[in-house]
Amino acid sequence: MRSRHDRLLDMAERRISLGVELGVIHRYLEDDELDGATITLDGRSLVDFSTCSYLGLNRDPRLKAGAIDALMRYGTSYSSSPTYTALPLYDTLEDQLRQMTGGAVAIAQTTTLAHLAALPSLLGPDDLALVDAQSHDSVHLATANLRGNGVTVESVPHRDMVFLAHRLAEVAGNFNKVWYLADGIYSMYGDTAPVEDVAALQAIYPNLYVYYDDAHGFGWAGEHGRGHVLARVPLNDRMVIAAGFAKAFGSLGAVLIFGDEEMARRVRLVGGPLTFSGPIPPPDLGSAVASAGIHLSAEHEELQARLSSDIEFMRSELVRLGLPVVSMEATPIWFVRVGSPAQSAEMIRRLMEDGFYLSIAAYPAVPVGRGGVRFNQSLHHSREQLTDLVQALSHHLPEVSAEPHIVIDLRDEALALLEEGDSDGAPTGAAHRRSLPAHRP
């Protein structure tokens, strides 16, 4: 008999295959060059709302020039672990990032590898990790290593500070350190971590540490783009933040930000992926240095103000048309609930016919039966494009939501599988769902 895990994977594969069959995911662009706002599929130009270049810096001439200059001076790669030798661009970028964030930093290749470097280096068998159930899957991936090292890991309800406070009251005294793992801005719904409430709990519990994945806040939020978290609370010596360059920053790579220099030193010295993974390629380092220079200039405030104004405009349009948006927080990420995976795929297909490309979201990226469409806005988009998209969503949603499921919906099967217990009789819950590939950006 096939295991529950295999059946869950089969179900997820069928859901994703539906999107492939309908032509809404796993597509290759047909463009010879990109303008930032549009892509070409099936010979048609579509306004692209699936990317995360919130400040539009990925096409900035200064980032391009930085990448080209680094490429010509250092080649396509410098094939040495940064633990041994690193290009001088690393040193320049580290200094810029310290100025941006006010913390100690360690540069990593990706946010996923940053998590895998930091968390196993900071948590041990005497510690407890409380992980927000909707944290990015790259964070949940790193907790598998923690479990292997004897760390106790628990999934806690999403953004539920009452539950977190009660749990801390129950267990904080039983562990050396308790770490709360969460996202600064959650990549699917665009809602944010209640960082002020968490900081208040840190004031109560001296052994409470916090690890945030702020990939979607870094670059556009906070002074110099230091991110959503540091825009709301000061960095403290029991806080670590991971952030990536692949979104608002307009480049590739990642950074770990520490309030405690000794913590940073430990991760730099013993964080596995920082040692055994290859370096960031020279062109990406060059573009990251150029981007950091923009973030440290007065121009960055102008870019922030433009994006914030556009976010408020989008929010007012969504409210005006009464669309079922999961979170109305002022971030550039929006999620409109549609229904089943088939209905969500049909919505994407219709929007493509209207000239828009959005991201589909279904289980296991979101809870069973709560699928929808996710879209991101950036400075690449005009106000007219934002308005046209919202109007198209408003037009199609009543028809798509009212339709019967276009193909067999797997809701009942998913619920049955999730209600099954583990071999020891424990409920499956969110933790088992997180063992599946969620395809979350």
Where are the domains positioned within the chain? 4-54+300-433, 61-295
The reported pLDDT for the residue numbered 435 is 36
| CATH number of the domain located at residue range(s) 61-295 in this protein | 3.40.640.10
Question: What share of the chain in percent tops pLDDT 70?
Answer: 90
CA-to-CA separations, 409 to 11, 39, 412, in angstroms, rounded? 10, 31, 8
The reported pLDDT for the residue numbered 259 is 98
- As beta bridge partners, residue 357 has 48
- Of 97, 162, 107, 151, the C-alpha closest to 129 is 151
Residues 29-61 have pLDDT tens digits of 999 999 999 999 999 999 999 999 999 999 999
Most confident of 11-15, 50-54, 404-408: 50-54
pLDDT at residue 223 tops 90: yes
The reported pLDDT for the residue numbered 6 is 85
C-alpha–C-alpha distance, residues 179 and 202, integer Å: 10
The reported pLDDT for the residue numbered 403 is 63
CATH superfamily of 4-54+300-433: Aspartate Aminotransferase, domain 1 (3.90.1150.10)
- Of 390, 378, 337, the C-alpha closest to 361 is 337
C-alpha–C-alpha distance, residues 93 and 285, integer Å: 8
Residues 344-394 have pLDDT tens digits of 989 999 999 999 999 998 766 676 667 899 999 999 999 999 999 999 999
The reported pLDDT for the residue numbered 437 is 36
Select the more confidently predicted residue: 375 or 411: 375
